[in-house]
Structure 1
């Protein structure tokens, strides 16, 4: 007597593979495939955290998948610093930023390209291939002839590995400020194949052709890893199939047609308990009422998606299955329906006796049974006393229409294009209440795209012969140009007659209203040409165009610039978090400085040239120039204390109070020119004529203020 029984591994819902693999013993298949059950293949997990652990397996990628990869090479962090001083008497502040260069292994199989890249869950690289922060990316696709990366080669010398057969990405000088000055956790969208691939194709590659490259579910993507090829094949069978013999190898079967029709040889009566030929039908309660399938959903940025199928009738058991592959919601729903149908069909089993001519029917073969209808899968057989017994399990009917399914709501990482850097640099009066220790430039920058974040800053005091690092720009500013200038108005009252229209650099930029209290607190301060003004009402009149009214003109001593704007003049909304500063030496006054900003979307850096007039450190012109009897008086102003919070005189803000006074005739002949230490001067009789012109400038620590003038001093103020 000889007995041979090949049993199946798995459940009615799972895809059996053990019995089929048993037939591979004589076919020289890699022993890795034949390892016993329990070896692990891929598992469905939340997107894995990136590692750099030595010995971490590198997956073989198929289709398109999102993977974390493994860091295989890195340099030390590269430190940069910039020093600035907030104001007179204030300590200097040094800010540090860091960048890093490193390489990440992605696939142990060649790939086509890398798509999006996420860093700590936010997009680092968009679908268009644009990096969201400064740095350089190179992708090596994993060819067997690829050369070593030039950066790695320069650091490691002639022993630098080329990592042939490994697809990897190299980041060079990736700025880390957006990630807390540390290496972020990265995940990559990798396109190994440009189109979906079948589970059978994947199985064929993993078994060197022992499994035919046909059959099985079409998968958008799959990452093959685990401690055995068998584990990976078991995972592929979870997609709704099983491995069946085909020639010298196997095929991942799913909707195979029967290869033979079986008729019971009559060794036992059907239905007799324990006899061959018996038919068994499990209770309906053994079938799950609901099957839930978890998968990676490309529509959810490859996060886990869940689809379910339910049946009516008795029972309360639920079954959760996992398919660690990227498939659409519709496909996952169809697979859940198929699994439920397979479980329902598998309630019915038969044992059929047949002649020895059926010995070639190995486990996994699809047959039909005379008088039983439908398709049946051979799950095992035994040969005893020259009687062949075949164990058969009913298969569900053919696939029905693919159901429609929704991936659900997903909060995908925004893919915003950075665009080109828009740069403005200007020497402004101090925006705070502290006097500056030296001239200072205010730098504002933004981008033509909503994804612009920051740019590296450099400046030159010698016409570009030498560039000095100045750190980076501040938060994106609201910038634009004037389309309708506001005209001339008084700086003493709210201007309710004029309006200002501007076109902003990017549609996502916005302006807002401010009430009187907000304006008093400094809200909505904008630079328009050379004038600082505030606005109380902002109305959008186009995609990027705004109309501003309720204007407060000539703020912080810029009343001389009122009415000097034309169409095309600059517009910049000033706020503490959007202004970066560059401290300049006092010797820069009277010269020019070039400022250059380079952002991630710039083919060429943005550059502006600024005349350093001392506007940031000079006192504003005196006001209220008037004659009081024989005395000419005026009121000084200060470059500090603009908010006037105590109602007392503004602080001096200079080393000493001094004024330069010039009296001249209408023809320009100077009658008197002198410096005084009080805001008044006694007029001589000859200086009291109606044609006398008076000019007063305050003498500041760094130079003279703008002029305050009066003509015809006979007229009383």
Structure 2
């Protein structure tokens, strides 16, 4: 081997080459090819066997006929050398025997060491020249199961099996080996194990003269049976003057270099535990059974690496687990401006959004009217959220959708609808990924500390996000009064009237007045001129008179703006409805 050369090192990255067959078709040739990628650093099988034997005090071993390399092997317990080597012997197909007073190991290869005939065997009056036997079919398994460690799937446990054909109720042999191999090679091992077990039912016993000392355990001999030659592997040799040998039948093709199909590698993204994106939402009551003073949280991360824990505390210490989020929220941003329009009516407006994760889908109109496809909009990371719904979602680009059939200002958010939502407005789909955070009513208006991160790690891990939030309990916010009107009386007074709305059980068609939803009915009426407050009223019914005398006291301005809002004892004043009167 003076002029032996290693060829070749491939510049393509391993293990993408050879696993990504959709990219490099010659990856199919890797196992039988000339590449040294990922092989040059593998320990030789002979080195592993020698090391295991040396640990047990056996240092003089013969491994010159043991070829191949191992991807990975583990000794996970206190065990003997035999217990450690048996998984390797099964996986890589080699035997152990005594050779010249030394322990020897050699791979099974089906290479014939000697062709025997009956003339070469010792003839004994008490015994046949050679005896053939076949064990019961029940002694050979009809199914074998091999448990191993997968080299092609991040060292996850793997299982390979082989089943003999035409076996009705197969006896199963099972073995677990702490050896790292590929899924394809594990299938080869299982099939070889099954075939060897079934072929080895046939065995022979014969004696050879001392002149044939070269035939020893592990050798393969060919024995002529008429015109047929069967191959047997010597398993045992007894030196009793003549040499008594026991051998089992083999099929040499079992030991040919295995050829198996490779499957294209699946993308295995690195699931790094990096900080998540968290968005707190103060929303009105959507279903009616929510806690009205508790906020919601939307968690997003691509790729999603598992459940996310939300810890809460009054200060940055003493955190208690509040919620565990099991799925990501669908979040994104708007790409076009969305102008204000009349609430509660289907519009022809379109809203183009880009999602950072997830997908949207269209819904039937009836499903939308029953609450489907609700989303929240807010710009700049602060302020109130408007609830919108959409009927159609058309995919127009990579993670980009055009939403149609919009319903604006849902759940009483028409009172906070701006003149326009600019591009870049936050978009959060209100599905099962948005979860309400636990909060007592006494915590409203107080600072709360949150730590949000992977549930598999402690809340002081660097991957956790620290946030400080204050919540006002938007679920308690009264709706803006509807149908505000102002009419002039003959005496110069202004008669204000409106219709009360409710945030609780207001979607009824039985003709009765909607529930009050508050401890008592109370409104706030503000009279303004050019932004200046002239007068305030707090009526307890849905009307108020601005008298001519009050008008005179306030300066008899030609143009006045009247603002009306419902008042909640818990929340305070809700959004104002406005009407302008020209005197």
TM-score of the aligned structures, taking structure 1 as reference length: 0.58
Which residue, 622, 626, 633 being the options, matches 2:485? 626
In structure 1, C-alpha distance between the alignment counterparts of 2:356 and 2:462, rounded to whole Å: 18
How many Å separate the matches in 1 of 2:230 and 2:547? Answer: 126
Question: RMSD of the TM alignment (CA)?
Answer: 4.8
Deviations 1:51-102 (A, max 9, x none): xxxxxxxxxxxxxxxxxxxxxxxxxxxxxxxxxxxxxxxxxxxxxxxxxxxx
Work out whether residues 448 and 468 of structure 2, in 8 Å CA contact, stay in contact via their aligned partners in 1.
yes
The equivalent residue for 1:252 is: 105
Q: Is the 8 A contact 2:142 2:172 kept in 1?
A: yes
Rounded to whole Å, the distance in 2 between the matches of 1:468 and 1:346 is 67
SS across alignment from 2:474: coil
2:310–2:453 CA contact under 8 A, matched in 1: yes
Mapped pair 1:491 → 2:343 = yes
2-structure distance, mates of 1:406, 1:661? 77
Do residues 381 (structure 1) and 241 (structure 2) align?
A: no
Match of 1:520 in 2: 369
CA distance in 2 between partners of 1:309 and 1:434 (Å) = 60
Cα deviations by residue, 1:93-123 (Å, 9 ceiling, x for unpaired) = xxxxxxxxxxxxxxxxxxxxxxxxxxxxxxx
Q: SS in structure 1 opposite 2:188?
A: helix
What pairs up with 1:201-280 in 2 under 5 angstroms?
A: 201-202=48-49, 205=52, 207-209=56-58, 212=62, 215=66, 230=82, 237-239=89-91, 240-255=93-108, 275=127, 278-280=129-131
Give the SS at the match of 2:195. Answer: helix
- Of 510, 518, 530 in structure 2, the residue corresponding to residue 654 of structure 1 is 518
The equivalent position to 2:425 in structure 1, one of 549, 569, 582, is 569
Deviation at 1:554, TM superposition (A): 0.6
Cα distance, 1:233 vs structure 2 = 5.2
CA offsets per residue over residues 505-544 of structure 1, 9 Å max, x none?
Answer: 32xx122222232222222221111211111112233343
Q: Is the 8 A contact 2:140 2:198 kept in 1?
A: no
User: In structure 2, do the counterparts of structure 1 residues 401 and 628 end up closer, same or farther at CA, with 3 Å as the change threshold?
Assistant: same
2:36 is matched with: none
CA shift in 2, pair 1:216/1:513, >3 Å:
same
**Secondary structure of 2:508's aligned partner:** coil
Q: Count residues with an aligned counterpart.
A: 502
Which of the residues 534, 546, 552 maps onto 1:683? 546
Match of 2:568 in 1: 700
Deviates more, 1:674-683 or 1:200-209: 200-209
Offset, 1:566: 1.7
Q: Contact (CA 8 Å) 1:693, 1:711: kept in 2 or not?
A: yes
Cα distance change, pair 592–635 in 1 and its aligned pair in 2 (3 A) = farther
Pick aligned residue for 2:453 from 581, 598, 615: 598
- Name the SS of the counterpart of 1:616 in structure 2: helix
After TM superposition, list the pairs within 5 Å mapping 1:226-625 onto structure 2: 230=82, 237-239=89-91, 240-255=93-108, 275=127, 278-281=129-132, 292-296=143-147, 298=150, 301-308=156-163, 321-325=173-177, 326=179, 327=181, 328-330=183-185, 332-333=187-188, 336-337=191-192, 340=195, 344=199, 347=202, 349=204, 351-355=206-210, 363-364=217-218, 377=234, 379-384=236-241, 387-391=242-246, 396-397=251-252, 399-404=255-260, 420-433=275-288, 439-458=293-312, 469=320, 471-475=322-326, 476-496=328-348, 498-506=349-357, 509-529=358-378, 530-559=385-414, 560-575=416-431, 578-583=434-439, 588-589=444-445, 595-599=450-454, 603-607=462-466, 610=469, 612=471, 615-625=474-484
Q: For residue 34 of structure 1, what is the aligned residue in structure 2? A: none
Instruction: Tell me, in whole angstroms, the C-alpha distance in 2 between the residues paired with 1:236 and 1:596.
Output: 49
In 2, distance between residues paired with 1:534 and 1:332?
A: 53
Any idea what SS the aligned residue of 1:379 has?
A: strand
* Offset, 1:428: 2.2
What is the distance in 2 between the residues matched to 1:642 and 1:316? Answer: 67
- The change in CA–CA distance for 1:273 and 1:288 in structure 2 (over 3 A counts) is farther
In 2, distance between residues paired with 1:543 and 1:281? Answer: 72
Secondary structure at the aligned position of 1:336 is classed as: helix
Q: 1:203 to 1:627 in 2, by over 3 A?
A: same
Change (3 A) 1:200 1:486: same
Shift of residue 353, structure 1, vs aligned partner: 3.4
**Structure 2 contact 559–580 (Cα < 8 Å) conserved:** yes
Contact kept? 2:134, 2:201, Cα under 8 Å: no
- Aligned equivalent of 1:136: none
Residue 694 of structure 1 deviates from its aligned partner by 1.2
What is the CA–CA distance in structure 2 between the aligned matches of 1:448 and 1:636, rounded to whole Å? 45
Shift of 1:649: 1.9
Distance 2:403 2:582 in 1: 39
CA distance in 1, matches of 2:499, 2:50: 89
Pair 395,562 (structure 1): closer, same or farther in 2 beyond 3 Å = same
Structure 2 residue matching 1:333: 3-state secondary structure: helix
Cα shift at 1:423: 0.9
Q: Distance in 2 between matches of 1:548 and 1:267?
A: 90
The alpha carbon displacement at 1:343 in A equals 6.1
Sort the Cα spacing of 1:644 and 1:209 in 2 relative to 1 into closer, same or farther, 3 A.
farther
Query: Quick one: distance in 1 between partners of 2:134 and 2:463?
Result: 73
SS where residue 433 of structure 1 aligns? coil
Q: Does 1:641 align with 2:494?
A: no
Partner of residue 14, structure 1: none
Give unpaired runs (5+ residues) of structure 1.
Answer: 1-193
Query: In structure 2, do the counterparts of structure 1 residues 294 and 252 end up closer, same or farther at CA, with 3 Å as the change threshold?
Result: farther
Report the secondary structure of 1:583's partner residue: coil
Contact persistence 2:161–2:191 (CA under 8 A):
no
The 8 Å contact of residues 291 and 309 in structure 1, kept in 2 or not, is answered as yes
Report how far residue 205 of structure 1 moved. 0.9
SS in 1 for 2:342: coil
Q: Distance in 1 between matches of 2:58 and 2:245?
A: 28
Paired residues of 1:535 and 1:549 also in contact (CA < 8 A): yes
Q: Partners in 2 of 1:536 and 1:667 — Cα distance?
A: 39
Structure scoring higher RCO (CA < 8 A, sep ≥ 6) equals 1
CA contact (8 A) 1:479 1:505 kept: yes
Distance change >3 Å, CA 474–CA 394, structure 1 → 2? closer
Q: Distance in 2 between matches of 1:564 and 1:499?
A: 13
Q: Does structure 2 retain, via aligned residues, the 8 Å contact 1:419–1:448?
A: no
- The verdict on how the C-alpha distance between 1:261 and 1:472 changes in structure 2, with shifts beyond 3 A counting, is same
Q: Distance in 1 between matches of 2:470 and 2:113?
A: 88
- Secondary structure, counterpart of 1:209 in structure 2: coil
Q: Take 2:233 and 2:470, find their aligned partners in 1: how far apart are those partners?
A: 88
Deviation at 1:491, TM superposition (A): 0.6
Alignment check: 8 A CA contact 1:660 1:697 kept: yes
**SS of 2:204's equivalent?**
strand
Residues 216, 252 of structure 1: 8 Å contact kept: no
